Structure 1
Amino acid sequence: MISRLHPSYRACGMVALLVIAAPLVGCSTYLQTQEHAERIITNRQRQTARLQTSQVRQSPAIESPSKRLPDVESVVSERPVDAYVREALERNPGIQAAIAHARAQLERIPQVTSLADPILRAVTRPEPIQTAAGDVYFTFSISQTFPLLAKLERSGDIAAAQTRLALEQLNSKRIQVIADVERAYWQIYRVDRNLEITRENRRVLEDLSHVVETQYEVGDVPQQDLLRVQTEIAKLRDDERRLMFQRRTAAAALNRLADQAIDRQIPTINPVNVIAVDSDVDDLIQLAANHNPELAILNESISAKEAQVELARLGYWPDLTLGFEWNYLEGRDSFVPPINPSTGQRPAYSRKSEVGDDNWAVMLQFNLPIWTGRVEAAKREAHQRLIAAKKEQHDTENMIAFRVFDAWSRVQAQQHTLRVLDDELIPQSRQTYEVTLTAYQSGKSDFVALIDHWRRWLDFELMRHRETVDLELAFTDLQREVGMQLLRNESANNERADSAKGASQ
């Protein structure tokens, strides 16, 4: 009896081995991907590259331009906008949604690498099957399908690549939120500087109004000069009110990104020095090729599709199903043959049916992948999707290279405009206004010329801060396309910026 059970022991051992080996296929993939995911989710530190700015154009100073940089360990100088960036990275609902999506995608790995549920089968027969061993009233069976382990591995690779893709989408969302915060911040900065200049010029015109009023009272100037200066003052007051409404809108945009009350007050932003960006555009394009989040997303998409191609090639391998079946038998009276008249004896007969011994069986089955058209179509589909992903990656590389070049060109153009404003236009227009004011006070110039020169000086002052904001916005776009925070060297620019600030004052 024991020797008859040995095959069942061997079959059970094989089933147990497959049951243990199959989950291990996805376990290591899940743990590795989970560790990587938690590291990305919990780390909000931005990758950085320092731009060496000097009289001679230099390249970004990085350790290894051919691969993604490690997390920054050095302390980066704090900027006023960084506090709002940290707040948005912690509270932004879009980022939280991307984190939840990545964690949800991670849980796909154990699902696609797990075995299918076993099938339990129970059959009750009101009319039993009569066999020589007895009547079969009840049958119980259990079976488990075991796909090729390589299929589970490839399915796990696809899910892991899709999880990494979701993590790159999280990085992309963070970079986009950072860019949006900086854009909102610099819009507030622009409004604050315009308000500051508008108020200063209103006070200048109010002082001038007292001079004109005094001269009008003694008959040295016509009434139209007094009315003109009062009109300009009223216009500046209206500009102040309009700018205040614009500031509320810009502050609301910043608060929305940080998931704060829409009417939370944002303190006035102090003036900043203009920091030049002097780096080679080819090096910036190389940085973008290694760190741009859109390209990172496409890289993971290609990894998933490569695993899908390998999975499609395994379509010809059948899936194995192992099972065990047990039949319950009840004994019945044996058939007793009649006595042979010739011999006067009863023939020999079997009494086995009276015992009713149960029987069992080990089942082995597998599918036959004979419909090759389906498998070949799946292989062609996976191959074409891989080609499409690679072509999309190439197209995106070209687009990102263009966007980097466009942002870099705008940065260079804004820097040139600021140099002209600081070194020529603002000092000259201010000097022209002061000379005209002196001439007007001595009766050698008319009021129209004085107002025109004042307006030109005001326009250049406003233009300088507008160009400063446009420079920072272009630099923000450049950082977003590169996928890193670009650190500029302030020491090379402080002298010119301080001199420009003094001339402006």
Structure 2
Amino acid sequence: MNRFIGFLAFILILSFPLNQIFCQTDSDTLFTLEKVVSSALKDNPDLKASYQLWQASRNRISQALAPSKPQLGVRYEGLPLGSFNLSKYELRTFLFSQELMFPSRYFSMRKMSVSESDIASSFYQDKKLEIIQKAKSAYLDLFLNLKSIEIIQENLNLLEHFLKVTQIKYSTGEAPQSDILKAQVELAKMNNELVTMRAMLEVSKGRLNILMNRLPSILLSIQTDIIIPDFTWVLSDLQDKALYSNPLLTASKSMVDVQKSSFSLAKQGYLPDFMFEYMRMKTKEGMRDWGLEFRTSIPLWFLLKEKNEVNEKKANLLSAESDYQKMKNEISFEVQMAYVNTQASYRLMKLYQESFLAQAEEALKVAEANYTANLTDFLTLLDAQRTLRETRLDYYKAIVDYLQNLASLERAVGANL
């Protein structure tokens, strides 16, 4: 009886899909652009690594205020020569010592650690912007592949319709057999193009899955209705915004702060360091005593060390300030280039939207009507069909170019637009 129940349970387990038994995936979820970006920001391993580096830098801040480890010791004096019996000492001393830098140096070191942590934070923010840009770009590439397949499939249906019309015209003697052959060749080309585009589709899905920290082969469906914002931004406003939003520029400014703290520390090298030592002593006869020692360093060799260190740190500070100014100019130029590219791609997209598409559709209607009425040849009809197909493909390419350029502009500015 137990064997029968066990066998029945085994059969029931096998009747369930394996993916429901072992794991639950969101492979059947329809991903919007916002969901893709959110998933990438949550799960991307590169971003997680950058975040941990930032957290590591934050944990170094409090360490800067900590002095060096204190020292404990014991000293035996007056032991008989050749004897290792410590109980025969003349004087035993317990020692506790602590070395301290000049107090202001601790605060300067903490300030430098804060600035270094700010740099790590800026790099993390830049990595977020990079992941957002890559996620949007990969999503749009997949969107373009899907639209290309859709257009090719529609054109295959259209060519099959043309082939039927041509066959009817051939049967009535109104069209030569070569028109049928041309239609069949065009159909074969379109089918080959469809196979190629479907292969590219899988590559695009894999790239997007990897950005979301998923296996490349996991099924992925995306929403093909996307929002296309109007281009209404002003270049000078974006350049001004980038001066306080771009994380790489913020990191460069924090590097100036690091070098300022380093320069300040170098100047404080002329200040003394201290060492305190407390001693408890006991003689062989049992007499007890205590002592206190205080030592300080003096910058005796300042002409060789401290002076040159100050000059070194000052040069590093001036270099960091120059790098910051250079970075400001580069960011401003990067925003300008991204702005120009985005504006140009937007204008091209609007031309396709408002003019080119309608003209290509009208040209195909006229060519089909003329071919049916024997007013034009089949090649003219094929040319009109190709023109419409290429125009529709170029229209979606213009949309993708505009949105990808907009993503690049957002990264250059350092903020969502």
Residue 256 of structure 1 corresponds to which residue in structure 2?
Answer: 210
* 1:123 alignment partner, SS class: strand
Contact between 2:32 and 2:222, CA under 8 Å: does it hold in 1?
A: no
1:136 aligns with 2:90: yes
Cα deviations by residue, 1:418-461 (Å, 9 ceiling, x for unpaired): 22222222211221121111111111111111111211121111
Alignment equivalent of 2:293, drawn from 363, 379, 393? 363
Deviates more, 1:456-465 or 1:273-282: 273-282
* 1:455 alignment partner, SS class: helix
Task: Extract structure 1 runs of 4+ deviating beyond 4 A.
Answer: none
CA distance in 1, matches of 2:111, 2:281: 42
Alignment equivalent of 2:316, drawn from 385, 397, 400? 385
CA distance in 2, matches of 1:248, 1:219: 46
1:277 aligns with 2:231: yes
Cα deviations by residue, 1:100-119 (Å, 9 ceiling, x for unpaired): 11111112123221011112
Contact between 1:330 and 1:357, CA under 8 Å: does it hold in 2?
A: yes
CA distance in 2, matches of 1:434, 1:199: 19
Residue 503 of structure 1 corresponds to which residue in structure 2?
Answer: none
* 1:288 alignment partner, SS class: helix
Residue 342 of structure 1 corresponds to which residue in structure 2?
Answer: none
Decide whether aligned partners of structure 1 residues 228 and 321 sit closer, same or farther in structure 2, where only a CA change above 3 A counts. Answer: same
* 1:274 alignment partner, SS class: coil
Q: Which runs of 5+ in 2 are unaligned?
A: 1-30, 82-87
CA distance in 1, matches of 2:210, 2:350: 35
Q: Please report how far the alpha carbon of residue 121 of structure 1 lies from its aligned counterpart in structure 2 after TM superposition.
A: 2.4
Residue 52 of structure 1 corresponds to which residue in structure 2?
Answer: none
* Percentage of pairs with the same residue: 22
- The count of aligned residue pairs is 380
Decide whether aligned partners of structure 1 residues 272 and 100 sit closer, same or farther in structure 2, where only a CA change above 3 A counts. Answer: closer
CA distance in 2, matches of 1:138, 1:128: 14
The letter for the 2-side match of 1:110 is: S
Contact between 1:188 and 1:269, CA under 8 Å: does it hold in 2?
A: no
Alignment equivalent of 1:151, drawn from 94, 105, 108? 105
CA distance in 1, matches of 2:295, 2:175: 110
Alignment equivalent of 2:55, drawn from 97, 103, 124? 103
CA distance in 1, matches of 2:260, 2:347: 47
Q: Which runs of 5+ in 1 are unaligned?
A: 1-78, 332-355, 487-505
User: TM-score of the superposition, structure 1-length normalised?
Assistant: 0.72
CA distance in 1, matches of 2:222, 2:187: 23
The letter for the 2-side match of 1:283 is: D
Q: Please report how far the alpha carbon of residue 211 of structure 1 lies from its aligned counterpart in structure 2 after TM superposition.
A: 0.7
CA distance in 1, matches of 2:272, 2:99: 11
* 1:108 alignment partner, SS class: coil
5 Å-filtered alignment, 1:2-401, equals 80-125=32-77, 127=79, 136-272=90-226, 274-331=228-285, 357-372=287-302, 373-401=304-332
Rg (Cα) greater in structure: 1
User: TM-score of the superposition, structure 2-length normalised?
Assistant: 0.87
Q: Please report how far the alpha carbon of residue 250 of structure 1 lies from its aligned counterpart in structure 2 after TM superposition.
A: 1.2
Deviates more, 1:264-273 or 1:406-415: 264-273
Decide whether aligned partners of structure 1 residues 431 and 146 sit closer, same or farther in structure 2, where only a CA change above 3 A counts. Answer: same
Residue 435 of structure 1 corresponds to which residue in structure 2?
Answer: 366
Cα deviations by residue, 1:66-102 (Å, 9 ceiling, x for unpaired): xxxxxxxxxxxxx931111111111111111112111
Cα deviations by residue, 1:266-294 (Å, 9 ceiling, x for unpaired): 21432335322122101111111110011
* 1:444 alignment partner, SS class: coil
* 2:90 alignment partner, SS class: strand
